[in-house]
Amino acid sequence: MEAFKSMLMPVLNEQISVPTWEILTLLTIVALCLLFRATRIGLLLTYIFTLHLTWSFVNLHLTPISLVTYLVLGGAVLVLGFFSLITDYY
């Protein structure tokens, strides 16, 4: 139980500040994607924004090997998302 608490403490104690312009830009783009029925593009852009937000937290609290794993897995999801997007429209 102590190992779980020590792993969870950085998540509970951390605060991430997000500039207002980033949130407004994301909301505008996602709203436009929903209006034009481009839900996959909106979902992919939201995922990219989430990766951007979590990078500072991950960079502070994880080891270099974990960072590489985070980048590889995040990149794999992005590649699969782009592949799905391209094959769906063409």
Q: In the structure encoding, which two tokens stand for residue 80, read together?
A: 């699969």
Q: What is the pLDDT of residue 32?
A: 94
**pLDDT category, 90, cuts 50, 70, 90?**
low
pLDDT digits (tens, 9 = 90+) for 2-27: 877 777 777 777 777 888 999 999 99
pLDDT digits (tens, 9 = 90+) for 45-64: 999 999 988 887 888 888 88
Question: pTM for the complete prediction?
Answer: 0.76
Q: What is the pLDDT of residue 1?
A: 76
Q: What is the pLDDT of residue 15?
A: 78
Q: Where are the domains of the chain?
A: 39-90
Q: How far apart are CA 38 and CA 53, in angstroms?
A: 23
Integer angstrom CA distances of residue 90 from 14, 41, 77, 86: 43, 14, 20, 6
